[in-house]
Amino acid sequence: MKEYNKTILKKASKEIILEAFVCIVLRACLLIIPILYSKMISDVSSSLFEQAIHVLIIYIIVVSIYKLFDYFRQHTYYFVYNKLYKEWTALGMQYTYKNSIFSLSRFSSGEYLNIMNSDIDIICMFFTNAIYRVIQICEFIFIFYYFFTINTALFITTLSASLIILMFIMMSSDKVQEYNQNKKDLYDKKTSTIGDIFSGIKEIKGFNIGKKINNRAINDTNRWTTANAKYSTMYNLVNIVSVYFFEILRLLLLIYGVYQISYGNMEVGILVIIYSYYQKIIDNFSLVTTLNLEYRNLKISLRRFRKIFQYANTKNKDMVDVEDISGKIEFKNILYGYRNDPVLNNFSVVINPNSMTAITGKTGSGKTGIVDLLLKMNRQLEGQILFDDIDISTISEDTYYNLVSIARKDPFFFNCSVKDNLTILGKNEDEIIDVCKCLGIHEKIMSLEKGYDTVISNDTKLLSSSDKRLLAIARVLLKDSKIFLFDEIIETLDKSKREIIMKILKEKKTNHTILIISRDTKILEHMDNIILMDSGILIDSGNHEELSKKSKLYSEIS
Amino acid identity, position 484: F
Of 308, 338, 355, the one marking the end of a domain is 308
- Residue 321 resides in a domain: no
What does the pLDDT read at residue 282?
75
Residue 483, domain CATH: 3.40.50.300
Q: Average pLDDT, stretch 82-100?
A: 89
Average pLDDT over the chain, rounded to an integer:
87
Residue 316 in any domain: the answer is no
User: Looking at beta carbons, which pairs linking 521-524 to residues 24 or more positions away fall under 8 Å?
Assistant: 521/558, 522/491, 522/495, 522/498, 523/358, 523/490, 523/491, 523/498, 524/358, 524/360, 524/558
Best CA proximity match to 32, nearest among 3, 58, 71, 6? 58
Q: What per-residue confidence (pLDDT) applies to 101?
A: 66
Q: 152 and 98 share a domain?
A: yes
* 13 lies in the same domain as 159: yes
Q: Do 37 and 44 contact (CB within 8 A), yes or no?
A: no
| pLDDT, position 317 | 53
Give, in degrees to the nearest 5, the angle at Cα 394 between 391 and 399: 105
pLDDT band at 133 (very low <50, low <70, confident <90, very high): confident
At CA 153, angle to CA 149 and CA 159, rounded to 5? Answer: 85
pLDDT at 91: 92
Q: Evaluate if residue 301 carries a pLDDT over 60.
A: yes
- Asked whether residue 60 is domain-assigned, the answer is yes
Q: Is residue 313 part of a domain?
A: no
pLDDT tops 90 at residue 35? no
Asked if the model's pLDDT at residue 314 lies above 70, the reply is: no
Nearest to 519 by CA among 508, 509, 532, 502: 532
**What local confidence, expressed as pLDDT, does residue 437 receive?**
95
> Among candidates 341, 321, 390, 310, which has minimal Cα distance to 98?
310
Q: Are 111 and 30 contained in the same domain?
A: yes
Distance between CA atoms of residues 194 and 240, nearest Å? 35
* Mean pLDDT, range 515-532, rounded to an integer: 94
Does one domain contain both 364 and 438? Answer: yes
DSSP-derived letter for residue 353 is: S
- pLDDT band of residue 181 (cuts 50, 70, 90) is confident
CATH (domain of 200): 1.20.1560.10
Tell me the average pLDDT across 209-223.
86
* CA-to-CA dists, residue 198 to 60, 206, 230, 291, angstroms: 58, 14, 29, 37
- In whole angstroms, how far apart are CA 525 and each of 85, 358, 468, 470, 512? 54, 10, 25, 21, 19
Mean local confidence (pLDDT), 534-538: 92
Establish if 419 belongs to a structural domain: yes
* 180 close to 297: Cβ distance less than 8 angstroms: yes
- Asked if residue 245 lies in contact with residue 114, where contact means CB atoms within 8 angstroms, the answer is no
State whether 297 and 338 are in the same domain.
no
What percentage of the chain exceeds 70 in pLDDT?
Answer: 95
Residue 49 CA to chain centroid, in angstroms? Answer: 62
Residues 300 and 341 in one domain: no
Q: Cβ–Cβ contacts within 10 Å for residue 340, how many?
A: 5
Residue 259: Cβ within 10 Å count: 11
Distance (Å, whole) CA 93 – CA 91: 5
Asked if residue 324 is part of any domain, the answer here is no
Lowest mean pLDDT segment, chosen from 80-94, 134-148, 273-287, 448-462: 273-287
> In the chain, count of helices (H) and strands (E)?
20, 12
Q: Provide the H-helix boundaries in 424-464.
A: 429-439, 442-446
Give the residue-averaged pLDDT of 514-521.
94
User: Beta partners for 542?
Assistant: 530
Closest CA to 146 of 137, 133, 158: 158
| Containing structural domain, residue 510 | 329-557
Q: What does the pLDDT read at residue 254? A: 83
333 in a structural domain: yes
Which band of pLDDT confidence, cut at 50, 70 and 90, is reported for residue 286? low
Of the listed ranges 134-148, 441-455, 499-513, the least confidently predicted one is: 134-148
Task: Please state the rounded mean pLDDT for residues 282-307.
Answer: 78
Question: Which of 271, 243, 241 shows the shortest CA–CA distance to 259?
Answer: 271
Q: What is the model's pLDDT at position 223? A: 92
Instruction: Give the per-residue pLDDT at 519.
Output: 92
Cα distances (angstroms) measured from residue 373 to each of 233, 336, 385, 453: 50, 9, 8, 35
3-state secondary structure of 334: strand
520: left (phi over 0), alpha (psi -120 to 50) or beta: beta
Pairing of strands 404-408, 355-361: unpaired
Q: What is the C-alpha separation between 395 and 392, in angstroms, rounded?
A: 5
- Same domain? For 255 and 347 the reply is no
Neighbours of 538 (CB within 10 A): 20
Say whether pLDDT at 316 is over 80. Answer: no
Reported as a single tens digit per residue, the pLDDT across 37-87 is 888 888 888 888 899 899 899 999 999 999 999 999 989 999 999 999 999
Nearest Cα to 518, choosing from 404, 362, 328, 374? 362
Q: Are residues 94 and 235 in the same domain?
A: yes
**Mean per-residue pLDDT, 418-441:** 90
Q: Average of pLDDT values for 496-524?
A: 94
354 lies in some domain: yes
DSSP assignment string, 469-495: HHHHHHHHHHHT-SEEEEES-GGGS-H
| 207 and 237 fall within a common domain | yes
Say if CB 531 and CB 349 are below 8 A apart: yes
Neighbours of 163 (CB within 10 A): 10
Considering its fold, how many domains does the chain have in total? 2
- Asked if residue 377 and residue 269 are part of one domain, the reply reads no
